[in-house]
Structure 1
Amino acid sequence: MPIIHFHLAEGTASPEQERALLIEASTLYAEGLQCPMDRVRAFIVAYPRHRVAVAGTMMDAGGTPAPYFEFLVLEGRPLEQRQHLLAGFTDLVVRLLGVERSLVRGHCKRVQPEEWAIGGRMAADLRHADIEAFTRRETA
């Protein structure tokens, strides 16, 4: 289920920077959640500069890049893991894209396991042991 989207204005990152962001974010995600890499998905959503405003200034009129990211985790993941990923993804954006830290925004969305499908089957069924393990750690 680990899925991350980086929302960027077009032209604010080179193809090399985008590639590094996707690869390093995937590694951080897998390590941060202690899950197999084959579960991780990373995407960049690029917006035309004329459709992005930062602090009321359009990007195509000289607005400052201010990336936003959002990622999904199954409900029950420990707060420490979620906070580690929020900080880690922010660090990656700052380091790899060279943007000002205070302009980066991130969001962790928790999803109920019975509302997520993997290959058409409910995560609650497929990941039952995983979900129980991290739920026990969260309440311990």
Structure 2
Amino acid sequence: MPVAHINVLQGHSKETLKKVIHDVSMAMADILSAPKDRLEVWVTEIDPDLWGVEGEPASEVMKTKPRGQVEMPYVEMVLMEGRPLEQHHKIITTITDILVQHLGTDRGRIRVHIANCKPDNWGIGGTAAAILRKAEIEARAKAGA
């Protein structure tokens, strides 16, 4: 279920963005103990003419400042509620580290927002996650009996 949507300025190479997707996915799997087949990571590139910084389009600001001081990668994560705060803090730090490493952005410009979601408010294939979770737990209990 964990998802991460990463917004960046256009202009990074596809290879760089693929590395971001890979490393963020691996961090989510490791830190959140989430199965890889349930993870989603999306990167959206924003046209620098349509990204405002200091009241101007980023394309204009980048004429006088380096990209790493202009771009503000924004990561929106959705996690099922109930995870320990330590996981939240570690994933925020690790995703920030990954973006600094691959994008060259100043650390202080990176933003990570975690939105906690109640299982009754998250649908999977038209069914609330709370219902699916209950069915999975019951199936595991039967299999172990």
Normalised-by-shorter TM-score class: 0.7 to 0.9
Partners of 2:31 and 2:91 within 8 A in 1? yes
- Within the alignment, does 1:38 sit opposite 2:44 as a pair? no
Residues 129, 121 of structure 1: CA spacing in aligned structure 2 closer, same or farther, 3 A cutoff? closer
- TM-score (structure 2 length as normaliser): 0.83
Which amino acid letter does the alignment assign opposite residue 7 of structure 1? N
The sequence identity of aligned pairs, in percent, is 33
Equivalent pairs counted in the alignment come to 130
Equivalent AA in structure 1 for residue 133 of structure 2:
R
Q: Where do 1:1-140 residues align within 5 Å? A: 1-11=1-11, 13-63=12-62, 64-128=70-134
Aligned to 1:134: none
Shift of 1:59: 1.0
Quickly say closer, same or farther: Cα 1:58–1:118, change in 2 above 3 A: same
After TM superposition, the runs of 4+ consecutive aligned structure 1 residues lying more than 6 A away are none
Q: Computing the radius of gyration over CA atoms, which structure comes out larger, 1 or 2? A: 2
| Displacement of 1:121 | 1.6
| 2:7/2:44 contact within 8 Å kept | yes
Distance 1:56 1:94 in 2: 24
The CA deviation at 1:31 is 1.0
Structure 2: which 5+ runs fail to align? Answer: 63-69, 138-145
What amino acid sits opposite 2:30 in the alignment?
Answer: E
- Do 2:31 and 2:90's aligned partners in 1 also have CA atoms closer than 8 Å? yes
Task: Tell me if the contact between 2:53 and 2:61 (Cα under 8 Å) persists in the aligned partners.
Answer: no
**Which amino acid counterpart does residue 79 of structure 2 have in structure 1?**
V
2:66 aligned partner: none
TM-score by length of 1: 0.86
Please report how far the alpha carbon of residue 130 of structure 1 lies from its aligned counterpart in structure 2 after TM superposition: 8.9
Q: Which amino acid aligns with 2:115?
A: K
Aligned CA-pair RMSD: 1.8
Query: Where does residue 136 of structure 1 map in the other structure?
Result: none
